[in-house]
């Protein structure tokens, strides 16, 4: 998809800070969106998801939130407010030179927290590196800039004023990386929020929620009774847990128990999705260095090769890590729309 990008050049009349047409964007939303392009190849002069150069990538990400920034990294460094390295926050733009000690900006990225920054590199495409320990980037660091339009803008979700239309939530902005999946699955009745139009996208998914979401996604009907000793027939998710068990989608955690409130792992989600959607591996080249011999290795390879879930830049999948509600919604949405 070709997207037109406005190109600006620095001038004496240009404000030293970009303007946000949409008001403000939270650092987490900006970073989450930036990470969705991980792996996109590098392209000299590239300004679209078919290929980016470093400044074209930053311009595309910020433009998504209505924030206009210059096209060239050297000009991008002339805008915003200077930030010290010790005070870096998510969403800050970080800049580098061509060699150690250089003051001429030749590369730019977005700080993602914990020492990491994401940028378009000629060797890896869009990738995350550590600003302090990477032997190439650390000595080339020049400085950072921040826009006031990228700031924490917490929404009070404990007492929202009114119920929003189906698929809309007070804590899921239109710029949130999983917005489309959450909205679509909500409209289909596969997922629901909490309280009044609150979704809690960063909350971890528990095993009861996972079984319910997947059962609804493939059209299973609730079955009365109790398939596990720790899931009573009156438990809110019992019907879908029973249905998923009968369909061979879920297993217990031993001793006849399901552990419905335990956080579901990425490995367990992969196994559930593989069984629910009868997946086969579409690529024999997919592998992760922390999956060999793992009980869910085959399922993870199938899920990853079908592009429902991805691994991390260090070549791992982190099978025993937990997934958020936003991630779970994305996995399921990709499965039913594939």
In the Cβ-directed half-sphere of 322, how many Cα atoms lie within 13 Å? 14
Biggest distance spanned by C-alpha atoms of the chain: 73
Please check whether residue 5 lies inside any domain of the structure.
no
Could you report the per-residue pLDDT of 163-178, keeping only the tens digit for each? Answer: 889 999 988 998 898 9
In 122-221 the beta strands, taken as DSSP E runs, fall at 125-130, 141-146
Q: What whole-number distance in Å separates Cα of residue 71 and Cα of residue 76?
A: 7
User: How many domains are contained in the chain?
Assistant: 3
Closest CA to 319 of 332, 338, 301: 301
Domain match, 230 and 328 both: yes
Domain match, 328 and 273 both: yes
Please check whether residue 185 lies inside any domain of the structure.
yes
| Residues 46/108, Cβ–Cβ less than 8 Å | no
Q: Is 104 exposed, middle or buried (0-12, 13-18, 19+ CB in 10 A)?
A: exposed
pLDDT at 280: 67
| Residues 207/171, Cβ–Cβ less than 8 Å | no
Please check whether residue 20 lies inside any domain of the structure.
no
Domain CATH code at residue 90: 3.90.1720.10
pTM above threshold 0.85: no
Residue that finishes a domain, picked among 184, 201, 218:
201
pLDDT at 241 over 80: yes
| Residues 273/331, Cβ–Cβ less than 8 Å | yes
pLDDT at 243 over 50: yes
Which are the contacts of 279, defined by CB distance < 8 A and separation ≥ 6? 273, 302, 303, 306
**Which residues are registered as beta bridge partners of 204?**
324
Domain match, 233 and 297 both: yes
Full residue range of the structural domain in which residue 165 is found = 155-201
Q: What is the mean pLDDT of the chain?
A: 86
Average pLDDT over residues 95-107: 94
Q: What whole-number distance in Å separates Cα of residue 110 and Cα of residue 93?
A: 5
Could you report the per-residue pLDDT of 106-135, keeping only the tens digit for each? Answer: 999 999 999 999 999 999 999 999 999 999
Domain match, 79 and 58 both: yes
Domain match, 215 and 94 both: no
Domain match, 114 and 192 both: no
pLDDT at 284: 61
pLDDT at 65: 84
| Confidence band, pLDDT 50/70/90 cuts, at residue 260 | very high
Instruction: Name the region of 104 (left: φ>0; alpha: ψ -120 to 50; beta: rest).
Output: beta
Closest CA to 34 of 88, 93, 85, 76: 93
Q: Which helix (H) or strand (E) holds 156?
A: none
Q: What whole-number distance in Å separates Cα of residue 74 and Cα of residue 10?
A: 9
């Amino acid at each position: 998809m070709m997207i037109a990008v406005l190109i600006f050049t620095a001038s004496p009349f240009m404000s030293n800070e970009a303007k946000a047409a949409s008001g403000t964007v939270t650092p987490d939303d900006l970073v989450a969106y930036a990470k969705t392009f991980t792996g996109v190849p590098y392209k000299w002069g590239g300004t679209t998801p078919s290929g980016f150069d470093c400044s074209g990538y930053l311009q595309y990400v910020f433009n998504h939130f209505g924030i206009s920034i210059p096209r060239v990294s050297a000009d991008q460094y002339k805008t915003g407010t200077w930030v010290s390295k010790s005070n870096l926050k998510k969403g800050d733009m970080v800049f580098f030179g061509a060699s150690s000690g250089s003051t001429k900006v030749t590369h730019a990225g977005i700080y993602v927290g914990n020492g990491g920054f994401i940028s378009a590199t000629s060797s890896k495409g869009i990738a995350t590196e550590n600003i302090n320990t990477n032997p190439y980037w650390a000595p080339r660091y020049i400085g950072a800039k921040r826009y006031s339009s990228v700031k924490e803008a917490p929404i009070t979700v404990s007492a929202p004023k009114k119920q929003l239309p189906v698929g809309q939530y007070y804590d899921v902005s239109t710029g949130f990386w999983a917005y489309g999946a959450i909205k679509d699955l909500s409209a289909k009745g596969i997922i629901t929020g909490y309280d009044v139009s609150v979704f809690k996208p960063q909350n971890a998914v528990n095993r009861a929620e996972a079984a319910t979401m997947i059962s609804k996604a493939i059209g299973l009907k609730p079955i009365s009774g109790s398939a596990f000793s720790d899931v009573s027939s009156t438990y809110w998710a019992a019907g879908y847990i029973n249905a998923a068990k009968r369909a061979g989608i879920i297993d217990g955690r031993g001793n006849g128990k399901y552990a419905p409130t335990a956080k579901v792992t990425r490995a367990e989600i992969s196994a559930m999705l593989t069984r629910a959607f009868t997946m086969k591996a579409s690529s024999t080249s997919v592998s992760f260095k922390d999956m060999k011999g793992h009980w869910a290795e085959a399922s993870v390879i199938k899920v990853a090769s079908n592009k429902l879930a991805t691994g991390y830049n260090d070549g791992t999948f982190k099978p025993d890590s937990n997934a958020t509600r936003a991630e779970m919604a994305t996995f399921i949405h990709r499965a039913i729309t594939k």
